[in-house]
Amino acid sequence: MTSAARPSILTVDDDPSVSRAVARDLRRQYGEDYRIVRAESGPQALEALREIKLRGEEVAALLADYRMPQMSGIEFLEEAMDLFPAAKRVLLTAYADTDAAIQAINVVDLDHYLLKPWDPPQEKLYPVLDDLLLAWQQSDRQPVQQVRVIGHRWSARSYEVRDFLARNNVPFRWYELDDGECEAKRLLGAAGHDGADLPVVVTAEGEALVQPTDAELAAKVGLSTTPACDFYDLIVIGGGPAGLGAAVYGGSEGLRTVLVERLATGGQAGTSSRIENYLGFPEGVSGGQLTERARRQAQKFHVEMLTARHVVSLEPRGSARVVRFDDGSELSAHTVILATGVSYRTLDAPGLGDLTGRGVYYGASTTEGPNCEGQDVYLVGGANSAGQAAMYFARHARKVFLVVRGDSLVHTMSRYLIDQIAAQPKIEVLTCTEVAEGAGEDHLETLTLRHNKSGETTTVPASWLFAFIGAAPRTDWLAGTLLCDERGFVLAGPDLVPEGGRPAGWELDRPPYHLETSVPGVFVAGDVRADSVKRVASAVGEGAMAVTLVHRYLEKS
């Protein structure tokens, strides 16, 4: 094999002398066929892996020391799995840490652990790696064939298609017709289309889809859209942190569980570039990584996951709880957990409505980050989601302007984010400021900003506006079925009636459980619940708690 095509073996150990010794032993035995990469900390090793990933190269094996100060070997291997899931994983450990190494076999699918020191390597290191590398070579590592999307840069539907694929972890390549991309024209010609109706999606099998709906797209790119059976123990509606938490716990505790998501798992949290206050991730974790791990965890427990399915009604039917989809089909279960989350409110300013998806976006989209290279980006909102987005776009944009209606971020954003924003020279916070108007032909071109105390307005050139304001519950479809508060958030447990009473129409001889809605057997978790704490950790916790109450309901039914 040529040196340019050599896969890598990466080793990481915080002790420089040990790190050099490991790399030396590996280079002696495997240097002709593999590129040996050495790192002295977990973050340094992850950065090296990202560079390898960007170059389109492979990693055959990862050897990580268990005890490292910034990031343990287990934590490193867990994050490395997201980049190179096929790489063989080896933990280097002292005798005293063998129990931790054995536990890591389940945590990170560890392939082997080696006790230090392993002298002579001919007896204790090379035979182990020989077997692992042979298994890696014989595994199916062919790259996933990519979906190809051809569209216009400032087309709202083109953006929605790219966002849908990205959030569902479907590999795709984007061809922008506006740039005169020759390959885009060739693809359209091969598909027999003149480009009048875009976007066109070409599947990995070569089938051309013209302006596909999300449901059509999901079915063609391998996402599950059809349930395997008609009746379940538990239907979870919504795939954000609360829904994923409920699905994992429902599946792990033996309930026949199906999760239904209208767009993509992860919810608003799934679009976050970095969450740094979630328990167990001291180095932080992106919303996408957290979502993907939770999704894999749910699937491990045999949870069915349906994507691009839009639930339009819920009704009790005897002992069953029935949900109806927008295509008229139905799905039934003993119990339901509502975890539909919230959506960002739209900006009520002239000119912005027609530009949605064409420079005006609600929530962050990681697909747009590279497109903002060297340009100014405006973000509206003062909560954590806006702060995390500001830090993400600062990697790409020339300048990020955070537009905040209040006079500071102190009461709406976590302290760690406020400090990070203050230390980032590319971010400027515009307090007491609102977006008064947007304008543009094919896409957003200018914004008018108004100082809400002085009334002074300023018009600035702008092609990118991302809004993170308010939280609108997605509960219109529940009208007449469940009791909600005046803002549309679902009432549950003690919030339904004062002092442990029972809601109107409640027929059971007990009051509702803590997360139970006004319909017995229907529970609510996460942001859509009235007076919930809008944090990822609390949403996951409520999802798990709801499953416990589901068990209690089933036992007494």
Tell me the CATH number at 93: 3.40.50.2300
Assess whether 8 and 134 both reside in one domain.
yes
**Chain segment 143-165, per-residue pLDDT in tens:** 556 799 999 988 999 999 999 99
Of residues 171 and 428, more confidence is placed in 428
What CATH number is associated with residue 373?
A: 3.50.50.60
User: What is the rounded average pLDDT of the residues 158-177?
Assistant: 90
User: Residue 2's pLDDT band (boundaries 50, 70, 90)?
Assistant: very low
Rounded Cα distance, 64 and 28, in Å = 19
**Chain segment 359-393, per-residue pLDDT in tens:** 999 987 767 888 898 999 999 999 999 999 999 99
User: What is the rounded average pLDDT of the residues 551-557?
Assistant: 92
Under a CB-based contact definition with an 8 Å cutoff, are residues 466 and 361 in contact?
A: yes
Residue 169 sits in which domain range? 147-220
Half-sphere exposure of 328 (CA within 13 A, CB side): 0
Assess whether 128 and 17 both reside in one domain.
yes
Residue 339 inside a domain? The answer is yes
Residue 179 pLDDT exceeds 80: no
Residue 348 inside a domain? The answer is no
Determine the longest span between alpha carbons in the chain, in angstroms: 78
Assess whether 192 and 279 both reside in one domain.
no
Rounded Cα distance, 34 and 57, in Å = 11
Q: How high is the pLDDT of residue 108?
A: 60
- β-pairing, 59-65 vs 88-93, is parallel
Assess whether 242 and 303 both reside in one domain.
yes
Region of 499 (left: φ > 0; alpha: ψ -120 to 50; beta: rest) is left
3-state SS, residue 158: helix
**Chain segment 331-352, per-residue pLDDT in tens:** 999 999 999 999 888 999 999 9
Residue 99 pLDDT exceeds 70: no
Residue 141 pLDDT exceeds 70: no
Which of 51-65, 359-373, 437-451, 536-550 shows the lowest mean pLDDT across its residues?
359-373
Helix axes 384-393, 415-423, angle to 10 degrees: 30
Assess whether 202 and 261 both reside in one domain.
no
Rounded Cα distance, 367 and 479, in Å = 35
Q: State phi, psi for 147 to the nearest 5 degrees.
A: -75, 145
Residue 39 pLDDT exceeds 60: yes
Residue 226 inside a domain? The answer is no
Task: Name the DSSP letter for residue 528.
Answer: T
Give percent of the chain with pLDDT exceeding 90.
62
Q: How high is the pLDDT of residue 116?
A: 75
Residue 48 inside a domain? The answer is yes
**Chain segment 123-135, per-residue pLDDT in tens:** 888 988 998 999 8
User: Residue 267's pLDDT band (boundaries 50, 70, 90)?
Assistant: confident
Of residues 491 and 365, more confidence is placed in 491
User: Residue 85's pLDDT band (boundaries 50, 70, 90)?
Assistant: confident
Assess whether 15 and 109 both reside in one domain.
yes
From 467, 498, 521, the end of a domain falls on 467
User: What is the rounded average pLDDT of the residues 443-461?
Assistant: 96
Q: How high is the pLDDT of residue 107?
A: 56
Residue 549 pLDDT exceeds 70: yes
Is 0.85 topped by the overall pTM? no
Q: Is 229 exposed, middle or buried, given 0-12, 13-18 or 19+ CB atoms closer than 10 A?
A: exposed
Residue 225 inside a domain? The answer is no
User: Long-range contact list for 168-174, CB < 8 A, 24+ apart?
Assistant: 168/218, 168/221, 168/223, 168/264, 168/265, 168/307, 169/288, 169/292, 170/221, 170/222, 170/223, 171/144, 171/146, 171/147, 172/146, 172/147, 172/148, 173/146, 173/147, 173/148, 173/149, 174/149, 174/367
CA nearest to 40, candidates 76, 7, 8, 6: 76
Helix axes 287-300, 241-252, angle to 10 degrees: 20
**Chain segment 228-240, per-residue pLDDT in tens:** 999 999 999 999 9
CA nearest to 366, candidates 335, 336, 337, 388: 388
Residue 122 inside a domain? The answer is yes
| CA 272 vs CA 57, 240, 289, 400, 468: distances in Å | 27, 12, 10, 16, 12
Assess whether 11 and 129 both reside in one domain.
yes
Assess whether 328 and 476 both reside in one domain.
yes
Residue 1 pLDDT exceeds 50: no
Assess whether 114 and 190 both reside in one domain.
no
Q: How high is the pLDDT of residue 295?
A: 92
What CATH number is associated with residue 210?
A: 3.40.30.10
Helix axes 241-252, 536-556, angle to 10 degrees: 40
Q: How high is the pLDDT of residue 140?
A: 66
Side chain identity at 309, as an amino acid letter? R
Residue with tokens 């309901």: 553
CA nearest to 338, candidates 239, 435, 251, 424: 239
| CA 257 vs CA 237, 249, 298: distances in Å | 11, 10, 10
CA 387 to chain centre: 17
Under a CB-based contact definition with an 8 Å cutoff, are residues 353 and 346 in contact?
A: yes
Under a CB-based contact definition with an 8 Å cutoff, are residues 356 and 239 in contact?
A: no
Assess whether 185 and 283 both reside in one domain.
no
Assess whether 127 and 152 both reside in one domain.
no
Of residues 186 and 331, more confidence is placed in 331
User: What is the rounded average pLDDT of the residues 68-92?
Assistant: 87
Assess whether 209 and 242 both reside in one domain.
no
Residue 36 pLDDT exceeds 80: yes
Q: How high is the pLDDT of residue 186?
A: 79
Q: DSSP of 206-225, one letter per residue?
A: S-EEES--HHHHHHHTT---
How many domains does the chain divide into? 4
Q: How high is the pLDDT of residue 96?
A: 52
Of residues 557 and 359, more confidence is placed in 359
Residue 309 inside a domain? The answer is yes
Beta strand residue intervals within 420-470, DSSP E: 427-430, 433-439, 446-451, 457-461, 465-467
Q: How high is the pLDDT of residue 139?
A: 79
**Chain segment 392-410, per-residue pLDDT in tens:** 999 899 999 999 999 999 9
From 467, 492, 507, the end of a domain falls on 467
Rounded Cα distance, 507 and 521, in Å = 12
Of residues 264 and 145, more confidence is placed in 264
Residue 436 inside a domain? The answer is yes
From 187, 220, 253, the end of a domain falls on 220
Rounded to the nearest integer, the mean pLDDT of the chain is 89
Rounded Cα distance, 250 and 244, in Å = 10
